[in-house]
C-alpha cells in the first residue's frame, strides 16, 4: 500500500512548483538520478503525483527544470562579465569566477554525469540547451570573451590567448569540483577561495608588469 504524502501544502501555483523543485533536488541528491521516482518526489513534497504532472510534463521535464533552477548561480556570474570589463582587478574577477565554477561543478557533476546513463534524458537536455543558445561550451566562450575585451583595453598582456587561458581555468575548476563530488566530503582540499586565488596566480603570466 502506498504511503500518503508526507505533508500537504496549500499555496499558489508558483509556490507549488518551486516546492516541487526543492523536493526533487533533495530526492536526486539522496537517491541519484537512476533511482529517483516521481512517487518519491511527490511524497517528499507533500503532494500527489497528479499535482506533479500539472506542473511538469513528465519526469524528464522535472529533472531538466531542477538542473536549470537548482544549481549554484554560476551562469549569472558569467552573464555579468561583459559589464565588468575595464572595472575592478582582472585577478579578482577571475578568482571569483573560479570559486563559483568549483561550486557549480561540485554540485552538478553527479547529476550531469548521470545524464550519460539515460540517452533520452541527455538528448532532451542537449536539445533544450541548443534551443536556448546555452550549453557547456558557453562557459569557456564567456570567459574567453571577457579576457579578450580586457586584452583589448591593455589590462592584460597583448600576447594573451583568451581561449587557452579560459580552458586552463575552467578545466582546473571542473577537476576540483569532480574530485570533491567523488570524495563525498572525505577529501582534504584547500578552501575554495584559496584554491581560486592560487589557480589564477598559476595561470600563464598574463599580468606581467601590471
Whether residue 109 has pLDDT greater than 80:
yes
Considering only CA atoms, give the Rg of the chain: 20
pLDDT at residue 13, rounded to an integer: 87
Full set of structural domains in the chain with CATH: 1-58 (1.10.10.60), 71-202 (1.10.357)
Model confidence, pTM: 0.76
Rounded Cα distance, 189 and 176, in Å: 9
- All three cell numbers of 198, joined, read 592560487
Residue closest to 37 by CA, chosen among 62, 12, 11, 13: 62
- How buried is residue 120: exposed, middle or buried, by Cβ count under 10 Å (0-12/13-18/19+)? exposed
54-61 long-range contacts (CB < 8 A, ≥24 apart) are 55/13, 55/16, 55/17, 55/20, 56/20, 60/120, 60/121, 60/124
C-alpha cell at 145: 570573451
Find the range with the poorest average confidence among 5-19, 73-87, 134-148, 189-203.
5-19
Q: Which three cell numbers mark 192? A: 575554495
Query: Is pLDDT larger for residue 175 or for residue 210?
Result: 175
The pLDDT value given to residue 71: 76
pLDDT in tens, 90-106: 999 999 999 999 998 99
The secondary structure of residue 38, as a DSSP letter, is H
Check whether 1 has a pLDDT greater than 90: no
Amino acid at each position: 500500500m502506498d504511503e500518503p504524502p508526507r505533508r500537504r501544502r496549500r499555496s499558489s501555483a508558483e509556490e507549488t512548483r518551486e516546492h516541487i523543485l526543492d523536493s526533487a533536488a533533495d530526492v536526486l541528491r539522496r537517491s541519484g538520478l537512476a533511482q529517483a521516482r516521481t512517487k518519491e518526489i511527490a511524497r517528499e513534497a507533500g503532494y500527489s503525483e497528479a499535482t506533479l504532472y500539472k506542473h511538469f510534463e513528465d519526469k524528464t521535464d522535472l529533472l531538466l527544470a531542477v538542473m536549470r533552477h537548482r544549481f549554484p548561480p554560476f551562469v549569472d556570474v558569467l552573464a555579468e562579465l561583459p559589464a565588468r570589463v575595464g572595472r575592478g582587478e582582472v585577478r579578482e574577477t577571475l578568482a571569483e569566477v573560479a570559486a563559483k565554477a568549483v561550486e557549480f561543478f561540485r554540485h552538478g557533476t553527479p547529476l550531469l554525469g548521470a545524464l550519460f546513463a539515460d540517452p533520452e534524458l541527455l538528448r532532451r537536455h542537449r536539445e533544450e540547451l541548443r534551443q536556448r543558445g546555452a550549453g557547456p561550451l558557453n562557459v569557456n566562450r564567456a570567459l574567453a570573451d571577457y579576457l579578450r575585451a580586457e586584452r583589448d583595453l591593455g589590462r592584460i598582456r597583448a600576447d594573451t590567448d583568451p581561449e587557452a587561458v579560459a580552458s586552463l581555468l575552467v578545466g582546473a575548476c571542473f577537476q576540483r569540483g569532480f574530485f570533491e563530488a567523488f570524495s563525498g566530503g572525505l577529501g582534504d582540499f584547500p578552501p575554495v577561495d584559496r584554491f581560486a586565488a592560487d589557480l589564477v596566480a598559476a595561470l600563464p603570466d598574463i599580468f606581467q608588469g601590471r
